[in-house]
Amino acid sequence: MLEINRRNARIWSMLGMRRVLGMALSELAEQDERFVFVTADVARYFGAEKFAQAYPDRYIDVGIAEQNMVTVAAGLAKEGYHPLTATYATFTTARALDQVRVSLAYMGLPVLLVGVGGGLAEGDLSATHMGLEDVAVMRVLPKLTVIEPADCAELLLALQALIREPRPAYLRLTGKTGQPMLYRNMFEYTIGKANCLQGGDGSLAFLTAGTVTAQVLKAAESLADAGTVHASVYDMHTIKPLDAALLEELSHCGRLVVVEEHMQSGGLAGAIAEFYAERAQRPRILALGVKDAYPAANDYEEMLRLSGLTAEGIASSVQRWMEAEQ
């Protein structure tokens, strides 16, 4: 696999997740002879042309037909192949939901669904292209693994892990090109085990996933600089199954702040709240996400700002929450 080092990480972060996925396809095909790529008229968007040339018989474009894409992939999986499907997050998880439900959740066929435009990254194209409910919908499906990498290096490790052990899964891609780098060196990546990016004083922890993680790290830094709190930050790259051991540990932490580029309800924060609901010992939880409405189409950065999901927005929400609860 492509080595994670500072130079590569910089190149990948410039490319963004979808291009990195396209770049990785040939390598996945080399590693796993049963790997096939299925898409719905967005192969070029992922930069899959090289793969298509190198592996024409493992490249299937069904046209603009996401329902067919998912179930054709399931048919290939039934015959022993390991298909990866790629299109927009919302078209895979909302339009083709019943197909995902029947073939992946009910039958357990090992199809890896990749959704680009999780969150607001494609929001300049309007609400139709925002992926704001995908985590909520996918995580309630039995048998599905739901993964949301924080940066491109982690995306590659997630792909590796999913190819090594094929299973029904949803891989959510967030952010645009020119993303911040979080991981500059090889690290141990385990599905279902969160990464601690920064330790704190134990009074407040951030739990997050996706490219918004970079904003969270900055927010934590500014809260520390302001003397408000020394927060720890966890990259919860696997939303299902949740890292129960970590949450158990954090049940003694006073406050958790969950940050996600997703509707505020039903996603990572929802999953974490469900985990703690039955426990007597539990932290208070602040859920930061998009508040029950579709933001107007806008520049990505501006939409993040208006949704309170930039470093400044996150830090001030936490500040207000802590003041209100003094």
Partner 1 sequence: MKASFDEKEVQRLAARIRLDCLNMTYAQGTEGAHIGGALSLAEILAVLYHSVMRVSPDGRRDEQRDRLILSKGHGAMALYAAMKEEGVLQEELATYKNDGSPLSAHPSRASIPGVEFSSGSLGQGLSLGVGCALGLRRKGNQDARVFVIVGDGECDEGAIWEAAQSAAHFGCRNLVAIVDHNRLQYDGPTEQVMALAPQREKWEAFGWKALQIDGHSAEALYEALSMRSNRPLVVIADTVKGKGVSFMEGHPEWHNHALSAEEFAQAVKEIEASL
Minimum distance from residue 163 beta carbon to partner 1 (Å) = 18
144/288 with CB nearer partner 1: 144
**Residue from 30, 106, 128, 164 that binds partner 1 (CB under 8 A)?**
106
**Residue from 14, 107, 224, 246 that binds partner 1 (CB under 8 A)?**
107
Options 97-105, 158-166, 223-231, 305-313: segment touching partner 1 (CB under 8 A): 97-105
Site membership for partner 1, residue 94 (CB under 8 A)? no
**Residue from 3, 30, 49, 98 that binds partner 1 (CB under 8 A)?**
98
Minimum distance from residue 76 beta carbon to partner 1 (Å) = 5
Hey, how many other C-beta atoms are within 10 angstroms of the C-beta on 274? 11
SS (H, E, C) the chain: CCCCCHHHHHHHHHHCHHHHHHHHHHHHHHHCCCEEEEECCCCHHHCCHHHHHHCHHHEEECCCCHHHHHHHHHHHHHCCCEEEEEEEHHHHHHHCHHHHHHHHHHCCCCCEEEEECEECCCHHHCHHHCECCHHHHHHCCCCCEEECCCCHHHHHHHHHHHHHCCCCEEEECCCCCCCCCCCCCCCCCCCCCCEEEECCCCCEEEEECCCHHHHHHHHHHHHHHCCCCCCEEEECCEEECCCHHHHHHHCCCCEEEEEEEEECCCCHHHHHHHHHHCCCCCCEEEEEEECCCCCCCCCHHHHHHHCCCCHHHHHHHHHHHHHHCC
Minimum distance from residue 288 beta carbon to partner 1 (Å) = 36
Options 104-112, 131-139, 186-194, 286-294: segment touching partner 1 (CB under 8 A): 104-112
Size of the site for partner 1 (CB under 8 A): 29
**Residue from 87, 103, 211, 215 that binds partner 1 (CB under 8 A)?**
103
75/202 with CB nearer partner 1: 75
Minimum distance from residue 31 beta carbon to partner 1 (Å) = 17
58/282 with CB nearer partner 1: 58
147 forms bridges with which residues in the sheet?
171, 238
- Binding mask 54-93 toward partner 1 (x if CB under 8 A, else -) reads ---xx-x-xx-x-xx-xxxxxxxxxxxx------------
Minimum distance from residue 65 beta carbon to partner 1 (Å) = 4
Q: Which residues bind partner 1 (CB under 8 A)?
A: 36, 57-58, 60, 62-63, 65, 67-68, 70-81, 98-99, 101-103, 106-108
